[in-house]
Every structure is written in C-alpha cells, then in structure tokens.
Amino acid sequence: MSDKSAITLTINGHDHKIEVEPRRTLADTIREDCGQTGTHIGCEHGICGTCTVIVDGEPVRSCLMFAVQAAGKKIRTVEGLATGDTLHVMQQAFMDNHGLQCGFCTPGFLMLAVGVLEREPNISDDDLLDVLSSNLCRCTGYQNIIKAVRAAAKAMRGK
Amino acid sequence: MTAPAKFVGRSVPRLEDRPLLLGQGRFVADISFPGQWHMRVVRSSVAYGKIKSIDATAALKLPGVHAVWTAADVAYIAPIPFRLTGLKTLEPYRQPVLARDTVRYVGEPVAVIFADEEYLAEDAAELVDVQIDPLRATLVCSYQPDFFDHVVSSEPGVVRKGYGDVDAAFRTAHAVVSLELSIGRHSGVPLETRGAIARYDQVRDILEMHGAAKVPHWNRDTLAQMFGRKRESVQLFEGHVGGGFGIRGELYPEDILVCAAALKFRKAIKWIEDRREHLIAANHSREQHHKIRAAIDSAGHILAIDDEFFHDNGAYMRTHAATVPDLTAAMLPGPYVVPVYRAVGHIRLTNKTPCGTYRAPGRYESSFVRERLLDAIAAKIGMDKIEIRRRNLIAKSAMPYALGLETLGTSIVYDSGDYSALLDKALALADWKNLQQQLLKRRAAGDKVGAGIAMFVEKSGLGPFDTVRVEIIPDGTVEVITGVASLGQGVETAIAQICADALGVNYNNIKVIHGQTDRIDKGMGTFASRVTVMCGEATRLAATKLRAELLEVAAGLMQSNADVLDIVGEQIVRRDFSSGPALTLAELAREHPAPLSAEATFESTHMVYPYGVHIVAVRVDADTGGVTIERYAIAYDIGKAVNPKLVEDQIAGGLAQGIGGALLEEFLYDGNGEPLSVTFADYLMPTLSEIPELSILVTEDAPSPLNPLGLKGAGEGGANPVGAAIASAIDDALGRPGAVTRLPVSPQRLKALMAQT
C-alpha cells in the first residue's frame, strides 16, 4: 500500500480528477474511479486483450498500464466510439456480421481494431489477422469478428 | 388462428447487441452498491493436506479490513447440494464452502477476507498465514480405487448402463477391436470470470444476489434452503453474462460466502474472481480414460460395444454430481446400431480442481471414443472410414429409436433423424472425393496431410417444463417473462421471434426478461441446449393464448367480433375491411383495467436429438508437431431453425472450443498437484490464427415430433465431435490409423508420436 497521487485522466475528451495509488492499473481506474465500465477485464496479465483501450492513438492493454502512466494522455474507450445514436462503423460492422455473442470481449476487439485501422488504414489482410490474433474471444470462433473488421476497414478507408 | 411465420426461420438481427457494443453492458463486475465490502478468498497452496493453523492476525491489523472467516465461522452451512444426477452415495463427497480440517486441491477456499477495497482485500489475503501438513496427493485416477483419505474411497460411485449379453456377443464375434483412449482435462473458461454481489435488505427481509447466471431459480431455492429462509425472501438477478459453457452460474462456495456475509454484516458484499483463481477454482471438465472394445462381424457390423472408463472428477462432487459420466455412458452409442452394449464408468476423485459440465458434456468425450473405435474397426477389416459408418448407421425407418438407456431422468429415444442423408450432404459440402484426391497428391509430394470425419447424435430440450408469461405493457411493448437465462447466445432474439409470430407483432417490439427471480416464480434456466425448445414452445403457447385474449378484449372496444380481427405489427385491425378502424396494443393496454397477460407451461418428458457430421482436413508439421486445420465442414440437422444465423454462430463458437480441447487446452499438474496452467500464457485457448474458415450446412430434414415447431437445440453440436474428427485427420496425415489415442494432441505429444515407428 502506498500514498495516493492526484492525477487527471482524460477519457473520451472528459477530464476525471482522481486520486489513485501508484500501483492501481489503468483498467481498474477507468472502471472504478471514472465509472466507465464498458472496458472489461479478462485476465489482468495482458494476454486476452479484453481491456484494450486507445492511449494517444495506440491500442493498449489497460491492465498492464498504471493509471499514473496515463495521466495527461488521451484515452479512448468503447463509450467514446458512437456519435450520439449513430454507431461507429466498427460497431455497426460487428452487429451486421454477428461479431459478438456474449459481448464481454467486444469492447477490447473494437478498440484494438479501431486503433489499428486508424493508424494503418491500408494494413494488409495478413497483418490484420495477426493483430486480431492478439485478443481472445470464447464465443464466436472469430470468423465473424474478422468479417466484421474487414467490412469496417473497407468502410473506414472509403470515408 | 395465427398468422403465417414472419420471423421464425429468418436470420433477423440480434436484439442483444446494441448495449453490448456501446459499452453499456451490465456484467457482474459492473454492478456496485454504496458502502460495499470486497471479499477475497484465501486458497490452499497445497493439493492435499491437513490444516494445522490459520492465523489472520496480521491481516486484521490492516485498516479497512473488517473480518476474516475460516471454516469455524461457516460451520452452520451445509455442503453445496447437487443439482443434477445426484446419487445419494455421492453426498459425502460434496464440497464444504470453506475447507474444514483437510484441503483437497490447490485453489480450495480456506478463508475469506472482507475489506473496504479490492486491492486492500488482496493485500490482507497475502498476510493470512495458513499452515498445512502436506500429504501425498492422488493425481491419477488409477485402475484400482484407493483411499482418498482415511474416510473416503477415491471411487465415490460407478455408473453402469447397458443392455444385452455382452459376453456372449464377444464370444461369437468375427473379430474384436480394443482401444485405450484419454481425454485431457480442460473447461469452458469464459472470458468473464465469475463474480457475485449479495446484499441484505433488512427492512424487507430480502437477500439479493446479483451476478446470477444459468440457473437462477434453482440457485434461489437452494440458497433459501441452505440459509433456512423463505424462498420469496431470496432474490437472484442476472445481468449480462460473459459466456457460460456449462461452468458459469452453478452454485459455488464463493456464492454462498457472499450471501452469508451479506446476512451477517448487513453490507453489500462483492466478489470478483481473478483469472488465476478461475483457472484453479471454477469447474474443470472432460478428463477421462477409456478402455473400449467392439465385437464385429466379418462385414464390419458392430455386434457389441463394451466400455470401461475412469472419470477424474477432481477433489469433490459439485452441483453436477454424476452428470458427466452418466451422459458419457448414455450417449456413447451415438448414431450407430449397437445391438449389445455395456458401459461401466468409475467416478474417481483426485487432488485436482473439482469438475462439472462443459459444452457437450460427456459427448465430447464419448464421441472421441466411439469415433476412434469406428476408425479402428475400419482399419481392422480394411474398409473405408465412410463406408464403415454408413454400414452401421441407424436407418431413418427405425425412428423413433429407443436406445434402451436412460440419462438425466429421461429414457433416450432418438425422436427423428436421417443420419445417412446427412452424411451424404456433409460429404458433398466438404467435396470429399476431390479432397481425397488432392490429399493423395500432396502426400505423394511429401506433405503430411489428411482428412477426418466424425458423426454424432446430440441431445437437447431437457424438460421437465418451462413456464412463460407474455404481457402487454401500457406503452405497447410486449414482455416475455421467462425463467431461463442468457449466456450470450441470442436467447432474447430467438424467443422474441417465436413470440412475434404467435402474437402477430414485430419481434423488435418484444422484450425478453430472463434470470430475474422476482419476475416469475419458477424457471429451469439455461443448460443442455434446452432454451429454444422448452422456453420457445412455452412462449408460443403463452403468446397464442394472449392473442386470443387480446382479440376478445379488442372486439368489445371495436364493436366487432374477435374472429374478424387480426394483429398486424403493433395494431389490431379488422380483417374484413382494410381501411377500417384500428387499435394499437398500447391503446388496448391502457383501455383495459386488468393487465393483459397470459401464462403457459410446456412440459416434456423426453429430450430431442439433433445430429451432425464433422469433416476436417489437417496438415501436420513434421518438424514442430504443430497441426494446422486447413478446412472444416459441419453439417447439422436442427429440426427447425428459429434463426439460422444464430444456429451457425453456436456451431462456429462450439467448434473453436472443440479445437481448443483437441489441440491446445489442458490443465496440467506437477507431481505434487501444483497446477501448471494458471494463466492464459500456459492454458492456451485458440486465437483467430488457429481457427479455420468453416463451411456450415444447417438442415431441417428431421423436425422433432415432440413440439409443434419441430425444434431441436443448437448449443453443443459445434463442439461435440471435434476431438474425434481431428484425431481421425491426424491419423490420416501420419498414415497410421489409430495413432492418436489421447487429447489434446499437443505439438510435444505429436512429435513423440512421430518419433515412434
């Protein structure tokens, strides 16, 4: 245990002034201290990717980052993807292609795919498969996820 | 009279998706109550031993730590009772909520911490000093049962099933084929770990548990009984559930502990499991060793099957009791004519995590064993592995086919099926002839490639009943209230589709309420691929009843006769003239003084039996022992698909889990019973890279005669025979029939296999 530090986390454009222990993970902080429970925690050791968020443009496993490390950076979570009632093309593509069943891993896949495609819109299909192999899903068997991401990639490039 | 089907049979979009995509899910960890305490479990680090002492002094000194409980604090709580297949003889082997004087597996709860905050509770757990005198752990369920400890044998029970004179059949057989086969220990491992939050409302005297799943009503009744409370004073609430697969939602020690603590401390108590805990404490499954033999005639017909198996259930008998070995023995014959049959299943205890069901429980195992046997018979008499199957299949004309065996309180009668027609369709789907030619060419060029096949019969639609209430609420929404649960598979969509057709409304105007014990008094929950069949038919019955009532009420208001009225979309209209007056459901509900609702129960004493064929082509890497799945084709007869796309989703998801168990996933232990698979880095689940593109053919050739829509279940056919099919393909790739005798076929095992000549 240790003393808490005062930090500001900027999540989806909103500032959250909070006090956290230095050891507190970004994932727990986003969920518990900032109340954004859309980011889920699946393993807490950086393998399943369920907790993926975008930090300064990079997909990051928020269970492997401390909240204090994310202070002053721009954090994006699943709650920030849609615009009003309009789903992000990635969300829409997941819906259209049955890219989810229970929905627990979904926020992580959405943020991973969006983060990668924003950075690298023309990513090759092989590289895309490689990237998406870094997150786990237990329900879908993945084929509908890759279909969804390919469809969204096309739409994002077309914009 | 109801309208023709508008929604049943169509792949309409899922109703569940929007909140899940927006990050608005309500999974168990997302639920919090003001002033809640966090519970952390202190677990045994020893596989088998006597507890000498538990010293929590240091933990209790941390500010914000409120209490530490050990077995003495929960001595009044009985061990967790069985939910299914609960033989009386198994009762001494139930798990206490906290270990008393003996620990029996690494991960067994020995104490619990209650603290203000999660991190603090974990700190405190580290400070609890647990002294255990280790004893020699039993890790293999050996052929001879021994004493598990001084009190109990390592064999709490034996499952026996069969018919006919086995010895006579083997005496007169043309040939006998014998195999020894093993299935590795693995499990459902949902991406959401377990969790539970209990709170006690003193004013209303109600104990609530949030984070329920799968079987909320059964768990409510059991909790009420365990705590000596009125059933109505215990309420369970299901939120979103991050995958079930058999394992999630059973009553575990932690669920009891949060409830006991909420009652004692009058605080909301929250427990969220971490991944390491999940991998050592939540139900494992599948581990079995079989010694099977078949008596055959000269044409390859099966005359008899005799199987003796050893089911490693880990350290205790949990809620499923003998369910898995029972289903293994009952479903082993599969789609073939087996004139004489005997299965003897030894339920054995070991010092490993206790076991329960996992998607296609007992069938993943028995399909592996049976289909290995069919391949071995083919090899024995020099026959093609397709032909040997075709020759032994139960004919369509023999349906309904009474197997002469019982399981889950029902006698097994295959209700309908045309197995041989589905085999043809599967072979066409996989382009089997061309595939064989391509593989032949590639093998000639030195590639280790091969194809495998496996057939199976699934079971689904377990009764005994399901009750549904359909209600029109004053804003015009239709609510379907049911006692089933959702594990992410699309329950809300499928049930809404059935209701929509029976009532005449749009499916997206229907809200399906599930897993809330305060909304409906009884329910059977979600397991055994039962929901679409049982809840679906109950929904159809209730909606049909409500439709008649709505038309009757509307007739009065519209000064008309019910028989000229119809429900179209959200309106009640006159059939006889299209421009006539109309009444919306909302108007009707507001006009009517009493609630507009109807309840119906569907009872069924028999299960329904879908069936399928899996075909797979693999490539074996001679250097690494890695197996690449190149193609996979599944044909599955569902009787009637309510939403074909959802059926395909179930099959695809099941396949991925089946591949995990066939090639990757295994809970391993060292010689002292220390678990070695405690993170996702050492318990390997398939990723996108390991899952092939899949061809799925869903057929409706054999509707069930046991319900009017002809429904059968979809949940488990994707997983059922995957180990069997992949083993068959690897044999073929190695050119060595019968080479694979054990799952998972890990690279190490496959390399070792290739090194044998």
**Which residues of chain A make contact with B62, given a CB cutoff of 8 A?**
1
Residue B261 Cα, gap to closest chain A Cα (Å): 22
pLDDT of residue B142 exceeding 80, the answer is no
| Chain A residue at shortest CA distance from B655 | A141
Identity of the amino acid at A64: L
Whole-number average pLDDT of chain A: 97
**Which residues of chain A make contact with B244, given a CB cutoff of 8 A?**
102
Test A48 with B191 for CB contact under 8 angstroms.
Answer: yes
Greatest pairwise CA separation for chain A in angstroms: 50
The answer to whether residues B748 and B391 touch, using CB atoms and an 8 Å cutoff, is: no
User: For the segment B648-705, what is each residue's pLDDT rounded down to a tens digit?
Assistant: 999 999 999 999 999 999 999 999 999 999 999 999 999 999 999 899 999 999 999 9
pLDDT score of A87: 98
Mean pLDDT value across residues B598-619: 97
pLDDT score of B292: 98
CA B109/CA B123 separation, integer angstroms: 17
pLDDT score of B147: 65
pLDDT of residue A68 exceeding 60, the answer is yes
Ranges B43-47, B335-339, B472-476, B753-757: which has the least confidence: B753-757
User: For the segment B463-506, what is each residue's pLDDT rounded down to a tens digit?
Assistant: 999 999 999 999 999 999 999 999 989 999 999 999 999 999 99
Residue B685 Cα, gap to closest chain A Cα (Å): 8
pTM (whole model) above 0.90: yes
pLDDT score of B1: 42
pLDDT score of B579: 76
Chain A, chain B: beta-carbon pairs less than 8 Å apart? 174
**Which residues of chain A make contact with B657, given a CB cutoff of 8 A?**
138
Test A138 with B685 for CB contact under 8 angstroms.
Answer: yes
User: For the segment B740-750, what is each residue's pLDDT rounded down to a tens digit?
Assistant: 999 999 999 99
**Which residues of chain A make contact with B29, given a CB cutoff of 8 A?**
31, 37, 40-41
pLDDT of residue B405 exceeding 70, the answer is yes
Give the total residue count for chain A: 159
**Which residues of chain A make contact with B490, given a CB cutoff of 8 A?**
101
pLDDT of residue B281 exceeding 60, the answer is yes
The answer to whether residues B604 and B700 touch, using CB atoms and an 8 Å cutoff, is: no
pLDDT score of B576: 83
pLDDT score of B144: 72
- B243, B681, B688 ranked by CB distance to A129: nearest: B688
- Angstrom distances, CA of residue A66 to CA of A44, A60, B42, B237, B275: 12, 11, 25, 33, 19
Share of chain B above pLDDT 70, in %: 98
Test A103 with B20 for CB contact under 8 angstroms.
Answer: yes
**Which residues of chain A make contact with B646, given a CB cutoff of 8 A?**
98
pLDDT of residue B149 exceeding 80, the answer is no
| Chain B residue at shortest CA distance from A92 | B21
pLDDT score of B538: 97
Whole-number average pLDDT of chain B: 95
Test B685 with A136 for CB contact under 8 angstroms.
Answer: yes
Test A134 with B687 for CB contact under 8 angstroms.
Answer: yes
Test B693 with A143 for CB contact under 8 angstroms.
Answer: yes
User: For the segment B230-252, what is each residue's pLDDT rounded down to a tens digit?
Assistant: 999 999 999 999 999 999 999 99
Cα radius of gyration rounded to whole Å, chain A: 16
Mean pLDDT value across residues B351-359: 97
Share of chain B above pLDDT 90, in %: 92
Give residues with Cβ within 8 angstroms of B77, minimum separation 6: B96, B97, B226, B227, B256, B260
CA B187/CA B279 separation, integer angstroms: 9
pLDDT score of B84: 87
Output the six-digit token pair for B429. Answer: 């789907």
pLDDT of residue B32 exceeding 90, the answer is yes
